[in-house]
Chains A and B, each alone.
Chain A
Amino acid sequence: GAGVSQSPSNKVTEKGKDVELRCDPISGHTALYWYRQRLGQGLEFLIYFQGNSAPDKSGLPSDRFSAERTGESVSTLTIQRTQQEDSAVYLCASSLLGGAPNTQYFGPGTRLTVL
């Protein structure tokens, strides 16, 4: 598979639990992005990784959210003490190089439901 993959595809959790979402970018892509898509809304930027540079975390909505990336490979988005308002689809994207006009290619997303 040459595309961006994400796991799990669906996650149901109880309020207060921690969750980890995983993203495997396209091989060779140096940039990786996380977005959140709430029902009926557009995508909200969360965080951007470019190579070994410090990530741009300016879109993370609270300190309960964090993300890591090892080199130019897998990334994990962690949400601690989940709240019901965290329910959304979390989308990961990668691009060959960082920034527009480089095209961002998206994974299928992880649908998170917090009960």
Chain B
Amino acid sequence: AQSVAQPEDQVNVAEGNPLTVKCTYSVSGNPYLFWYVQYPNRGLQFLLKYITGDNLVKGSYGFEAEFNKSQTSFHLKKPSALVSDSALYFCAVSRTGAGSYQLTFGKGTKLSVIP
């Protein structure tokens, strides 16, 4: 079985400071990893994904994530937070190969950027 843990329910950061939203995963074999963002009363928007290769993945709106196989982590980062980044962030994992369509999501981390 595959699983995702987002250890922080909420992260608060001051505008202009760097932000990190943590994610660890468990999956058999090699993972595909995703980050999505959800604004109030809206669906999930895709931010970035890790497939293979370079461990640092760059995505939309200045976000990036670092894949760390030994620590089974895929933390989301941004060098300088904006108030408009305040939202709910979800990490998701799937395994490669058969059944890869089943994404398993974490419970989400609420990010609040304080002006």
Residues of chain A at the chain B interface (Cβ within 8 Å): 4, 31, 33, 40-43, 45, 48, 50, 56, 59, 91, 93, 98-101, 103-109
Which residues in A have their C-beta under 8 angstroms from that of B106? 42
Which residues in B have their C-beta under 8 angstroms from that of A106? 36, 43-46
A13 to chain B, nearest CB (A): 20
Which residues in A have their C-beta under 8 angstroms from that of B107? 40-42
Total residues of chain B contacting the partner, CB 8 A: 26
| Bound Cα distance from A103 to B49, whole angstroms | 8
Contact A43 B100, beta carbon cutoff 8 Å: no
Contact A100 B45, beta carbon cutoff 8 Å: no
Residue of B nearest to A109 (CB): B43
Residues of chain B at the chain A interface (Cβ within 8 Å): 4, 32, 34, 36, 41-46, 49, 51, 90, 92, 94, 96, 99-108
A108 touching B43 in the complex, CB below 8 Å, given contacts A31-B101, A48-B101: yes
| Bound Cα distance from A98 to B98, whole angstroms | 11
| Bound Cα distance from A31 to B94, whole angstroms | 16
Contact B101 A98, beta carbon cutoff 8 Å: yes
Contact B46 A43, beta carbon cutoff 8 Å: no
Which residues in B have their C-beta under 8 angstroms from that of A109? 42-43
| Bound Cα distance from A93 to B101, whole angstroms | 11
| Bound Cα distance from A106 to B42, whole angstroms | 9
Contact B90 A43, beta carbon cutoff 8 Å: yes
A10 to chain B, nearest CB (A): 10
Contact B101 A100, beta carbon cutoff 8 Å: yes
| Bound Cα distance from A42 to B103, whole angstroms | 11
| Bound Cα distance from A59 to B94, whole angstroms | 15
Which residues in B have their C-beta under 8 angstroms from that of A56? 101-102
Which residues in B have their C-beta under 8 angstroms from that of A43? 44, 90, 92, 103, 105
| Bound Cα distance from A87 to B43, whole angstroms | 17
Contact A100 B103, beta carbon cutoff 8 Å: yes
Seed contacts A101-B49, A103-B46; 13 additional CB < 8 Å A-B pairs: A42-B4, A42-B90, A42-B104, A43-B44, A45-B102, A45-B104, A56-B102, A91-B44, A100-B32, A100-B96, A100-B101, A108-B42, A108-B43
